[in-house]
Amino acid sequence: MTELVHVGLEGREYDIHIGPGLLARAGDLISTLTNRRRMMIVTEENVAALHLKALQDGLAAAGIQSEALILPAGEATKSWPHFTRAVEWLLEQKVERKDLVIAFGGGVIGDLTGFAAAVLRRGVGFVQIPTSLLAQVDSSVGGKTGINAPQGKNLIGAFHQPSMVLADTDVLGTLTSRDFLAGYGEVVKYGLLGDEAFFDWLEQNAPAMAAGDQTLRVEAVKRSCQMKADIVERDETEQGDRALLNLGHTFCHALEAATGYSDRLLHGEGVAIGCALAFELSSRLGLCSQEAPSRVRAHLKAMGTKVDLSDIEGNLPSAEALVDLMGQDKKVVDGQLRFIMARGIGQAYVTGDVPRDAVVALLQDALAQR
Ligand code: GLY
């Protein structure tokens, strides 16, 4: 039951394979791109403990020998020291332009390894093998690569498309329920930003999907990747529509900075909270009905993901301080914040026309409920 989504970027096109059992077939699938019989894998310790042997066996079955660099797990790895380590290790391994480096992990490993591939020898190829739901539906697709800076998230990076994405849905079975639900924040984002029918489908099917239904998982990942591929084909470098994929992310990035990029708030949890806030703000500004934010919150609550600021443990800064943290957002133009607002479920758009006072008031009310 493997599904295929094609990303049709001229000269940089690639396939996303989605389904169970793909680690075992990785060697055969990657062999369609290259005849190199040696590959370098960058991964992290949790993924390595659970799945590295299965991937290396899958490569070996096609006669591909592999070496792996195992980095620490967690967001702190997406930083200069670990990036330097990965780049230098790949150079020690004598990576060549025609090699395909394998990024094997969640968003942190995919972003860091993709960025290393982008800059090494002015660009080597890479394959994304995403192991988290978040990475399978979002970060492994579309070629955004990079690391975090002390000033903010993802501020150092490059666009560099992978040559193939292998989303093995069996691997999702080893995620903790918290990690799975965090990734779900990015799945629901697709319905909310541009496809009400997908949101309807999620309302019906997401509980069974979260409980482990494989067919539903494949379908949810496929529909998410198809939407992302369509947007990336229209706007690879985010001159317009691609910013829609940042629904909820302006709030999320401020909350992640406020919680120190720690376990207090996982990225996808911040996306879910951010989507709820974006719909609440849209309703307050009279852009959408009051029912829309209620429906969003009801679904997120039913799924058991974080949805309110009160779901974040510990102290948070003031509403003014949170808005200041948004100032490093990559969507800022001429110092002006831009938000993804919604005219309804599935009808998001980008605007610079959101009064700062309205954002501060929204956050003050959300903080008061803690
Ligand atoms: N994660 C948002 C994007 O790829 O544009």
- 3-state secondary structure string across 233-265: HHCCCCCCHHHHHHCCHHHHHHHHHHCCCCCCC
Angle between helical axes of 177-194 and 196-211 (0-180°, round to 10): 170
pLDDT tens readout for residues 193-251: 999 999 999 999 999 999 999 999 999 999 999 999 999 999 999 999 999 999 999 99
The helix/strand/coil state of 305 is: coil
Is 246 one of the annotated active-site residues of the chain?
Answer: yes
Residue 332 has pLDDT above 80, yes or no: no
Q: With cut-offs at 50, 70 and 90, classify the pLDDT of residue 112.
A: very high
pLDDT at 153: 83
Q: How far is the CA of 7 from the centre of ligand 1 (A)?
A: 14
Residue 329 has pLDDT above 80, yes or no: no
Q: How far is the CA of 139 from the centre of ligand 1 (A)?
A: 6
Q: Which two tokens stand for residue 36?
A: 């190199």
Between CA 318 and CA 352 the distance in angstroms is: 23
- Residue 345 sits at φ, ψ, to 5 deg, of -70, 125
Is 249 one of the annotated active-site residues of the chain?
Answer: yes
Between CA 161 and CA 158 the distance in angstroms is: 10
Find out whether the beta carbon of 245 lies less than 6 Å from any atom of ligand 1: yes
Q: With cut-offs at 50, 70 and 90, classify the pLDDT of residue 150.
A: confident
**Atom of ligand 1 at shortest range from CA of 138:** 1
Q: How far is the CA of 36 from the centre of ligand 1 (A)?
A: 30
Is 238 one of the annotated active-site residues of the chain?
Answer: yes
Please write down the long-range contacts of 361-368, taking CB distance under 8 Å and 24 or more positions apart: 361/284, 361/319, 362/277, 362/280, 362/281, 362/284, 362/319, 363/277, 363/309, 363/319, 363/322, 363/323, 364/319, 366/277, 366/280, 366/308, 366/309, 367/309, 367/316, 367/318, 367/319
Q: Using CA positions, which residue lies closest to atom 3 of ligand 1?
A: 245
Find out whether the beta carbon of 111 lies less than 6 Å from any atom of ligand 1: no
pLDDT tens readout for residues 60-91: 999 999 999 999 999 899 999 999 999 999 99
Which helix (H) or strand (E) is 178 found in, with range? helix 177-194
Which residue among 234, 242, 247, 252 is best mutated to probe the pocket of ligand 1, counting the most ligand atoms within 8 A of its Cβ? 242
Between CA 35 and CA 33 the distance in angstroms is: 7
Q: With cut-offs at 50, 70 and 90, classify the pLDDT of residue 333.
A: confident
Q: Using CA positions, which residue lies closest to atom 2 of ligand 1?
A: 245
Helix/strand/coil percent split, the chain, to 5: 55, 20, 30
C-beta separation of 339 from 281 below 8 A: yes
Mean pLDDT (whole number) for 187-193: 98
Is 144 one of the annotated active-site residues of the chain?
Answer: yes
- Residue 357 sits at φ, ψ, to 5 deg, of -60, -35
pLDDT at 99: 94
Is 51 one of the annotated active-site residues of the chain?
Answer: no
Q: With cut-offs at 50, 70 and 90, classify the pLDDT of residue 113.
A: very high
What is the Cα 264 distance to its own chain's centre?
18
Mean pLDDT lowest for which of 179-193, 256-270, 321-335?
Answer: 321-335
Q: How far is the CA of 249 from the centre of ligand 1 (A)?
A: 10
E strands in the chain: 3-7, 14-19, 38-44, 65-71, 100-105, 125-130, 144-149, 152-159, 164-168, 339-342, 348-351
pLDDT at 336: 79
Q: Model-level pTM greater than 0.85?
A: yes
Which residue among 9, 132, 138 is best mutated to probe the pocket of ligand 1, counting the most ligand atoms within 8 A of its Cβ? 138
Mean pLDDT lowest for which of 152-156, 190-194, 222-226, 274-278?
Answer: 152-156
Between CA 209 and CA 219 the distance in angstroms is: 9
- Number of Cβ within 10 Å of residue 264's Cβ equals 15
85: CB partners within 8 A, 6+ apart: 69, 71
Q: How far is the CA of 270 from the centre of ligand 1 (A)?
A: 15
Find out whether the beta carbon of 138 lies less than 6 Å from any atom of ligand 1: yes
Is 160 one of the annotated active-site residues of the chain?
Answer: no
Residue 27 has pLDDT above 80, yes or no: yes
Residue 328 has pLDDT above 80, yes or no: no
For the chain, the C-alpha Rg in angstroms (whole number) is: 20
Q: How far is the CA of 246 from the centre of ligand 1 (A)?
A: 7
Is 242 one of the annotated active-site residues of the chain?
Answer: yes
**Percentage of residues in the chain having pLDDT higher than 90:** 90
**Atom of ligand 1 at shortest range from CA of 231:** 5
Give the residue among 81, 73, 156 at the shortest CA–CA distance from 107.
73
What is the rounded average pLDDT for all residues in the chain?
Answer: 95
Find out whether the beta carbon of 242 lies less than 6 Å from any atom of ligand 1: yes
Residue 132 has pLDDT above 80, yes or no: yes
Which of 17, 246, 299, 338 is catalytic? The answer is: 246
Is 98 one of the annotated active-site residues of the chain?
Answer: no
Q: How far is the CA of 94 from the centre of ligand 1 (A)?
A: 31
